[in-house]
Structures are given as structure tokens and as C-alpha cells.
A and B are shown apart, each in its own frame.
Chain A
Amino acid sequence: MLLNRASSGERWRIRPDGPDKVTGGLAYLTDMSVDHMLYGLVLRSEHPHARIKSIHTDRAKQLKGVHAVLTYLDVPGLNAFGIAHPDQPVLCEERVRYVGDALAAIAADSLAVAQLAAGLIEIEYEVLEVVDDPERALLPDSQQLHPKGNALHRTAFCRGDVEAGFKQCIHIIEDIYYTPRQMHTYMETEGGLFVPGEDGRLTVYSPTQHGFMDRMQLARILAVPQAGIRIVSSPIGGSFGGKDELNVQPYGALLAIHTGKPIKMHNSRWESVRAGLKRHPMKIAMKTGTDAAGRLLAHQVSILSDTGPYSTLGAEVLNFATEHVIGPYRYLHLDVNGVSVFTNNGMSGEFRGFGGNQAVFALEGQMDRLAEKLGMDPWTFRKLNMRAVDDLGPFDQPIVMTHGADHVWAAVAGCPLWQERNRLETTMDEKAEPWIKTGIGAAFTMHGAGLGVGIPDPAGGRLKLAEDGKIEAVFGYEEFGQGLLAALEQMLIEQFDFASEDIRMIIGDTDIVPDSGSTTASRATAMMWKSLQRLKKPFSDQLLQRAAASVDRPVEQLRLGKGGIKGADGDELLLTYKELAAAAGTPIICETSFSFPTSSTSRVGAHFMYTYSAVVVKVEVNTLTGRAKVLQQYHAVAAGPVVNPQGYLGQIEGGSSMALGFALLEESVMDKGHYIARNLDTYLVPTIEDQRGLIEVEAIEHLPEEDDYGPRGVGEVGSVTVAPAIAAAIRQACGKWVTKLPVEPSLLQEMPFFLRKG
């Protein structure tokens, strides 16, 4: 189904959080304030790498209006955080390892006073050599950033004998692909409000993708029981993975506890840039070979990932990249190695696509180069080597069987934009300026959902008939713009036949919601859907049984409907939900908890469920300026049933725009550990001018009849295949292969014909 407003009919709905968003009425957590609050500020390192000889805070503390200046000495519990492995200091003691490293936290009457105080803190550093090249960082003579050395994590996967495989190859392509340090650029920078309660509890209003993970980490830092902390974590002005790890929370929490007063924090953009996560820059070397007919025989990959100073999810991102450089293709011989390296560059971490974007850019680049070498159509070449329906996954692990790969492949093969490609090769647009060149390219992916084998991945939720007659849907997931509330509301309406007025959705509050796992890895919609499937019968049964007693009719003659209980064969309202709630009896609550389904393999990180997706793009290259412009896009996505058409379309369009930035514009350039671009005047993300072309999204909903896993996630796939498709289109347009992102305009510039010598 080509997804748009017309084809969606009544399923195209206004989001429940929409009216408050378009009127400015919605209070984001960084919009909150209370009387007598103080302003929190973090003093960060002047150097990317230095030993701390001394920190003196006396002068800052004496400044009028300053309430607290905290250093590592004031951290009562574990002075470190990190989702997977806590090795990032809350406040540095002996050493700083990047320019975002925190040394002191200040609370003052105003932000201006806090900034003055920051200037009065005296720190004596011994500057150390900056380790900014991940390759050099691995050499034995490099400065070691952590006790176990500079390699955070290594991966390997082998099948067959790759050297022997290459000996049999007729065609071999070898290339090295580079991808940039991309910035999330969520429009709402990190911040929040931290309120100590009279009962000794701390309430944290600060965006995160996993409130319970924050609560656990903060309890560890503050040395208090988890029950002593309440995390309120939605709504969020964008995250894309960037707010999953703790950011301002440790400082706001410490300052609130120390001063006994509410603390407001809201990072400036520069603060956000220097301290925030970025997409892991990767260098991916690939050697891939085929036989004479074009069948893949051998594939050898080496991934080098710059993880920056601390772990966060660097190892997990590398695992994901390792899986996705293998991807949906069949090889007899395979040898993949990866290493994630500590450096003094900025923090790398979780970012939409989770290492898949880098991997797929390289892998699909290889496929296009091989096809060209063979003189084959690139899509035909992919089909020849693509996984079959019942093939194992990239790590030879059992995966959920679908026809997704076939369907996506066929959708692209048949779409008008791909067919136009073949015409482009033979016809030239005579109206176009001679320096404008056009090309069409495509790329494919299978993208894993969920956290994978070996990582706790809980899911679940709760339905309740509240006292006021509202049906409460309670989940531990977060709304950061992706449309989770809209998806949840739509599922409740369509699966239970409730009206939107009957429903109250509650998310993002650790005091109320069950731990449903992290809102990440394209998992939330799938897990809410599964939860509702599991809750549907028990919850409906209880409601109907209670109703049956009230209206004195057999259960079989009743059904759930808009506003209340109705007769099974009519639309007459017999009992409102409010009346039902008032009927005496035990409260009606159903809860479910389970885990994201995983593959029966021991390979950590291997996935079980995948979304299949491909994109075709038409690109115009101006060979005078070297700028490439995306004119048109066609996305085919096989992710099972469309839960919310508007949200689905929005996620693919939005992911695609982010990938366009990754391909053509964005890079957080660093010089010896320092960021060059500090704000959005020099770090450029796509604007409306960059996104003027038509984007079509074909949603392939088909799943095998016995498949009960339901909808797959679409939060990430829209961002994964755009860059390699652009690279392929550039090749067709002007004959140049792109290996480094973002595409450097000088690579595409040509001497204009009128300047060439006759």
C-alpha cells in the first residue's frame, strides 16, 4: 500500500498529543519551573586529555547567590555511569578524557551567577597527549585511556575459509568506507527539573528513553534505594538515541540533594554538542568476491569504530554493525572483524540505526561495485545473492521467517523510479544545463529489532478500569516524538473498539508504570502491540463479566464499544464505563510482562526479528558546485501491519531526512579532540530546502499466517539505506564512486566545459 492520507482513510488520525503541540501548550520537561528553584550548571574540561592536579572551588563557593559547588568529593555513591558498563565519571577526579568531561556542578540563584561561579573555579591540569586517531590508539606505544587498554570491544565472525574463497573468485572488489561523526541534533537540548521532596524522595523530570535505567543508575550514584527516586521522563523534544544515556541527570540530582532545593538545568546548544553523544565514526574495509556468474563466494570485513572516551553502548553498536555488514546476502566464506576503540574524541553512542547505517553504506557499496564489474543490473545482482525465505540470519542464527526480503526486492524492481533508471542510462535530459547530471540508485537492508541475544529486554504493560471510568493503558515507554501515544491510542481503539475519550494513556513515570524495557531499537510499537494481544482476552473478559452481572444479561450477548458496554448485536449503550467502574467489586486490572523474542543462539546481540527495507533515490549532481541534491525517493518497507499510517510515514520520512544529512551534509569535525562546530550555524542539518522532492512510502504489510509477532518497528529503517542509495545514484550521474561520507563536494566538481582547453 502506498502510504498517504488518501490511502489510509479513517486510519489517518490526529495525534492525541497534537493539539497541545501545535498550540505551544504542552509543557516539555525543560519548560518546567517551580518557585524558589535554583539553576544548575556543569563545569566541563578545557582539555580533551589531561591529568587533574588540583581543583579549588572556594572562590566560587563564596560568590553571592551560589548555593553549592560540587566535585567528585561530593558524590556519595558510585562516581560513574554508563548503561552497559559504568566507566564514565560523574565528576572527574584524576583525569579528563574528553572536552565534555565534568569537573564541578554548580547551583545558584540564576544562570548568570552560576556561570560567574564556574569562572572562579580553579583547576590545575597537566595536559596529556591527545589520542584522537583510533588506529594509532591501538598501537602499543599509545597512551592508554583505561586500565584494560584502548580496545573497548572486539568482534569476529567466520564461516568457511575466506582466503581459499578469494582464490576461487573471478571478480573481487576491495574498498574502504568512512562514515562521519553525526550529531543527533534533537531540537530540545538536555535538561529538566530536579525536585527533592519533604519525604526525602527525589523526583527527576528529565527526558530519557528508559526511566527505570536512569533510576537504577542515579540510585547507584546517590547511594540511595531505587524506591527513593521517581523519574518522570516524557514528553521529549526528540532523542534519536541521544538521550538514552544519562546526561544532566547526575548533576541535577546531586545538586538537588545537596541544596535541598529544586534545580533547573537546560543545556545550551554548545554544552549539548560538547557533552552529548554522536554517531560512531567508522572505517570499514571490505573485500568481496564472486564467481563468474556473480555468486558471492567470499566477504571479508574489518570495522574500526571510534567510541570516544567511555563505553556507554559502544560494544553493542559494534555488535550491531558486525551483524549488518553481513546483512541479507549469502556467502560461502566469511570473515568479519571489528574493534571499538577508546579515544579522546567526543562521546560516541546510541543513534538511530545503531551502527547499521555505517555497515549498510559499506555493504551496499560493495554490491553496487560488484554488479558493475559483472555488467549486471545491481538489483538483479542482489536478488542472485539475497537470502531465501528460510535461510538463517547473518550470524547463522534462527530468525523469524517472513517473505519481507522478497517483497521489498520485488517492490523496488517494479517501481517506476527504478524503471526510470534504466532509461536514464540511454537518454539525456536535453533541457538540463550541461553541468547538471542525474542518476538513480537503490539500496537494501534487513534491520534487526530489539536488543538481541544476551541483553535483558523486558516488555509488558497494564490495562485498568479506573475509578472515573477511563480505560487506563499504562506503559513504561517514552514519547519522544515518534508517535508512540498515537500508535497506542490507535491500537486500543481498533483492537478493543474503545473511543479515544474512553482512554487515558499513562507513560513515563517510574512511580506508576511497569518496567516495559527501553524505548529503543525499534521495539516499542511491537511490544505495545504484543502486550495488548496478551491483555485483550483477560481484560475484555473481566469487563464483560462485571457488566453481565450489572445489566443481568449473559456475557455472550455483550461486547465492548465506544463509551461503554453494548449488546453483541446492536449499538445500544447498555452501561457506560463509568457505571461499570462504579459497580461494586474488585478493581479490574490486567498486567502482562514478557521479553522481546530472541533467537536460539548463544551469539550475543544476534537478532530474531527483522524489518526489511529498500530505497530508490533520484539525485542531481551539479558538477560546477559539487553539490548533490536528492530529487525523489521511493521507500519499500516490510514491517508487518501498519499500526498508525501517519506515524509510519512520518518515521520513514524523518529517518530518511536524517540519513540525507548523514550522506551529504553532517559531520561533527574534531581537531585534536576539540569540536570545530559548536552550534547549528556551522553544523548543518537538512532544512526544508533540502527536502523538496517527492517521497513515496510503500508499506508491505504481509506476514505469514502463523506469524504472531505482529508489527515490526519502523523507527530506524528509514535512516539506514538512504546513504548507499545516494552513493549509487551519484555513480550513475557522474561516474564517481563515493567512499566517504558526507560526500565531499570537491570530489564531484568538474572543470566546466567552457574552461577546458579546446
Chain B
Amino acid sequence: MSNKAVEEGVPYSLHCFINEGEESIKTAPSTRLLTILRDELKLTGTKRSCDIGRCGACMVLIDGKAVNSCLAMAYQCSGKHITSIEGVALQGIDYIQQAFLEEGGFQCGYCTPGMIVSVKALLDDNSEPTDDEIAEALSGNICRCTGYGGIWRAVKQAVERKRQLLAMEQKEELI
């Protein structure tokens, strides 16, 4: 789509995949993905907080990469696979979410969906992250409640679970 069309807000149909479902959404090409998720699709697990890509509350996966949905516009999502927190839990609470639950990695919970999405992007890509890598991956997610102690514990537990899951998969392959 040309820049001019983008600027003029020409009616636009976004085709993409959201939480494994195919979607076709009439919207302006410049509509933020955050608005599409929350206001049009009522997927309110993705949270609105700073609107400028600083706090990470609206983090989603776009083709597996963690992206602030307040900074992604509709036309940039064309054909992409988008996973919001609702998509992370499609098959029930996953191992990262379970780790957050058990370690107290949240309090008010408003940053938690974005935080979990960032951890998922990290562990999908790197199952043995160092502390530096964890801190870097989560430095775009602000939590005002936990003091990050519970989040550190949760991520460490998730890393351990991932290790066990991978070991089990390897074992099954050998059999």
C-alpha cells in the first residue's frame, strides 16, 4: 500500500492470523494492532498503558518475535501470524504461565500478559538464557508491583521446565 493511501486512511482490509485463526478485518491501514485486538476483537488480555512502546504491557508475538502492539499498524500485520496472551493459553495454562503462578511473578497482573509474551519469545528462541539475556529480553516490560523478584524466580523456573520439556522430547525421539 502506498504511503498516500496510508495517510488518507483509505478503507483497508487486513488479512492475518490471530491466535491461529484467520482474520479479515476492515480498518484503516494505520490503526494500531493494539486497538484492533482490544477494541475490535475484544482480546483485552493485551493491555494498554503507555502507547509509545516503552512499557511492554501490550506485547504480542508477530511471527514469533515480541512486538509492542501499540507500535504495529494494521498494514504492517498483513499476512502475519500474531499471538496474544490469549493465544499463549490456547491449550490451557502453559509452562511459563504456570511458573509465574507458582513463583508469585505478578501482583496487579496488568503487566503480566506482556511480560509472559516477552518470556515466551525469549525461551522459544533461546532455551538457556543467561541472566544478561533475560534482563535484556525483559527490559522493555515495566512491572510496578512485584519489584521483579517474583519475575526473576518465575523465569528461572520456566527455564528449568523448558529444559525438562526438551529432555523429554529428546527421550521420546530416541525411543
Interface residues of A (CB under 8 A from B): 5, 14-15, 17-28, 30-31, 33, 184-189, 235-238, 240, 266, 268-269, 480-483, 646-647, 649-650, 652-658, 679-681, 685-689, 691-692, 695, 718
Evaluate contact between A655 and B93: CB separation under 8 angstroms.
no
Known interface pairs A236-B108, A269-B51, A481-B107; A27-B44 also in contact (CB < 8 Å): yes
Smallest Cβ distance from A3 to chain B, in angstroms? Answer: 11
Q: A-B contact count, CB below 8 Å? A: 182
Evaluate contact between A187 and B143: CB separation under 8 angstroms.
yes
Binds A, one of B10-18, B73-81, B97-105, B159-167: B97-105
User: What chain A residues lie within 8 Å of B46 (beta carbons)?
Assistant: 24
Interface residues of B (CB under 8 A from A): 38-39, 42-52, 54-55, 57, 84-86, 88-89, 93, 97, 100-104, 106-113, 116, 131, 134-136, 138-139, 141-153
Evaluate contact between B149 and A24: CB separation under 8 angstroms.
no
Give the distance in Å from the alpha carbon of A12 to the alpha carbon of B141 in the complex.
26
Which 5 A/B pairs are nearest by Cβ-Cβ distance?
A: A24-B45, A481-B108, A21-B109, A237-B110, A657-B147
User: What chain B residues lie within 8 Å of A24 (beta carbons)?
Assistant: 43-46, 84-86, 89, 113
> Of B47, B147, B152, which contacts A187 at CB under 8 A?
B47
Evaluate contact between A650 and B107: CB separation under 8 angstroms.
yes
- Interface SS of chain A: loop
Evaluate contact between A185 and B144: CB separation under 8 angstroms.
yes
Evaluate contact between B144 and A18: CB separation under 8 angstroms.
no
User: What chain B residues lie within 8 Å of A679 (beta carbons)?
Assistant: 50-52, 54
Known interface pairs A188-B49, A654-B147, A691-B147; A18-B142 also in contact (CB < 8 Å): no
- Interface SS of chain B: loop
User: What chain B residues lie within 8 Å of A647 (beta carbons)?
Assistant: 104
Smallest Cβ distance from B27 to chain A, in angstroms? Answer: 13
Smallest Cβ distance from B150 to chain A, in angstroms? Answer: 6
User: What chain A residues lie within 8 Å of B44 (beta carbons)?
Assistant: 24, 27-28, 31
Known interface pairs A22-B97, A23-B97, A680-B142; A691-B148 also in contact (CB < 8 Å): yes
Write the chain A residue with the least CB distance to B84.
Answer: A24
Evaluate contact between B93 and A22: CB separation under 8 angstroms.
yes
Evaluate contact between B148 and A237: CB separation under 8 angstroms.
no
Evaluate contact between A692 and B109: CB separation under 8 angstroms.
no
Smallest Cβ distance from B8 to chain A, in angstroms? Answer: 15
> Of A5, A25, A28, A654, which contacts B107 at CB under 8 A?
A654
Known interface pairs A23-B86, A237-B47, A679-B54; A655-B101 also in contact (CB < 8 Å): no
Smallest Cβ distance from A652 to chain B, in angstroms? Answer: 8
Beyond known contacts A189-B49, A235-B109, A237-B108: 20 more, CB 8 A cutoff: A18-B109, A22-B97, A22-B112, A23-B45, A24-B84, A25-B45, A25-B86, A187-B111, A188-B108, A238-B107, A268-B51, A269-B51, A481-B110, A654-B145, A679-B51, A681-B52, A688-B135, A688-B141, A688-B143, A692-B131
Known interface pairs A269-B50, A481-B108, A649-B104; A22-B116 also in contact (CB < 8 Å): yes
Write the chain A residue with the least CB distance to B134.
Answer: A688
Smallest Cβ distance from B45 to chain A, in angstroms? Answer: 2
User: What chain B residues lie within 8 Å of A31 (beta carbons)?
Assistant: 38, 44
Evaluate contact between A187 and B57: CB separation under 8 angstroms.
yes
Smallest Cβ distance from A384 to chain B, in angstroms? Answer: 33
Write the chain A residue with the least CB distance to B49.
Answer: A187
User: What chain B residues lie within 8 Å of A20 (beta carbons)?
Assistant: 109
Give the distance in Å from the alpha carbon of A153 to the alpha carbon of B113 in the complex.
43
Evaluate contact between B55 and A688: CB separation under 8 angstroms.
no
User: What chain A residues lie within 8 Å of B51 (beta carbons)?
Assistant: 268-269, 679
Smallest Cβ distance from B160 to chain A, in angstroms? Answer: 13
User: What chain B residues lie within 8 Å of A692 (beta carbons)?
Assistant: 131, 135, 152
Evaluate contact between A681 and B54: CB separation under 8 angstroms.
yes
